[in-house]
């Protein structure tokens, strides 16, 4: 049986950490759609596009072919054949991705790839519009969030651990700006799907969130499959 788990939510809510662990527990594939938008943003940055010019973004993005492959369970994003994973987590790439992902031409280019992956195998896919647009029939939909202060604090600790100097208030401002762009764009804005379960991780550990999602999976997929078999 192929099943799909969609995890959406704002930047810094812990989606990728959680989604990876859930996928490992269920022995299915983790698909990071943010990385695809970041690869597209990297391409646009390399081509020096004007981020204020949607027409230029729409035109230039046509030259980017994005695909993914898996090596030892890790998702590798290929941009015109080049493994671009080492560049994707940079701050400027994330900021550009938040701008360019609002462009309909960019979204159109990535939609097919995401749907095909989910149709071919069981996946835990995270992003912003997975439950609402990409996989409206996903068996499990989670909207994972946390307060902007909690998300900023997590990011602050992450940067500090890497030995990078940073300012908590600035990080919080950046997160709130990104939320506002992701939630208020015209096409596929970030929002909770009607049938998604809201999980607020502000006061939860990673393990608690993973457990909670596995429980929801169990109720929605395993139990309902057993009920279906008994009725059939």
Smaller CB distance to ligand DC: residue 75 or 98? 98
- Candidate ranges 33-41, 76-84, 146-154, 200-208; the one touching ligand DC (CB under 6 A): 33-41
Query: Does residue 154 interact with ligand DC by CB under 6 A?
Result: no
Query: Does residue 34 interact with ligand DC by CB under 6 A?
Result: yes
Shortest distance (Å) from residue 155 CB to ligand DC: 11
Query: Does residue 148 interact with ligand DC by CB under 6 A?
Result: no
Query: How many residues of this chain interact with ligand DC, rule: CB under 6 A?
Result: 15
Write the secondary structure of the chain as one string of H (helix), E (strand) and C (coil).
CCCEEEEECCCCCCHHHHHHHHHHHHCCEEEEHHHHHHHHHHHHHHCCCCCCCHHHHHHHHHHCCEEEEEECCEEEEEECCEECHHHCCCHHHHHHHHHHCCCHHHHHHHHHHHHHHHHHCCEEEEECCHHHHHCCCCCEEEEEECCHHHHHHHHHHHHHHCCCCCCHHHHHHHHHHHHHHHHHCCCCCCCCCCCCEEEECCCCCHHHHHHHHHHHHHHHHHHHHHHHHHHC
Shortest distance (Å) from residue 94 CB to ligand DC: 5
Which position among 5, 6, 7, 11 is part of the footprint of ligand DC (CB under 6 A)?
A: 11
Which position among 64, 97, 175, 196 is part of the footprint of ligand DC (CB under 6 A)?
A: 97
Residues that bind ligand DC (CB under 6 A): 11, 33-34, 37-38, 94, 97-98, 101, 127-130, 178, 182
């Amino acid at each position: 049986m192929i099943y799909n788990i969609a995890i959406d939510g704002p930047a810094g809510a812990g989606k990728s950490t959680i989604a990876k662990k859930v996928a490992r527990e269920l022995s299915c594939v983790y698909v990071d759609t943010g990385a695809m938008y970041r690869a597209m943003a990297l391409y646009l940055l390399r081509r020096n596009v004007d981020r204020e010019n949607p027409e230029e973004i729409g035109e230039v993005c046509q030259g980017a072919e994005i695909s993914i492959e898996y090596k030892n369970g890790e998702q590798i994003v290929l941009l015109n054949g080049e493994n671009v994973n080492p560049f994707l987590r940079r701050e400027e790439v994330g900021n550009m991705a938040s701008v360019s992902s609002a462009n309909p031409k960019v979204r159109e280019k990535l939609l097919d790839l995401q749907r095909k992956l989910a149709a071919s195998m069981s996946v835990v896919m995270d992003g912003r519009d997975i439950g609402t647009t990409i996989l409206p029939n996903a068996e499990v939909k989670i909207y994972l969030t946390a307060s902007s202060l909690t998300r900023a604090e997590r990011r602050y600790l992450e940067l500090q651990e890497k030995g990078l100097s940073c300012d908590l208030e600035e990080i919080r401002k950046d997160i709130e700006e990104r939320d506002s762009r992701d939630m208020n764009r015209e096409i596929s804005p970030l929002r909770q799907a009607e049938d998604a379960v809201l999980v607020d991780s502000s006061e939860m550990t990673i393990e608690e969130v993973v457990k909670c999602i596995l429980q929801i999976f169990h109720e929605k997929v395993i139990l309902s499959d057993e009920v279906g078999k008994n009725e059939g």
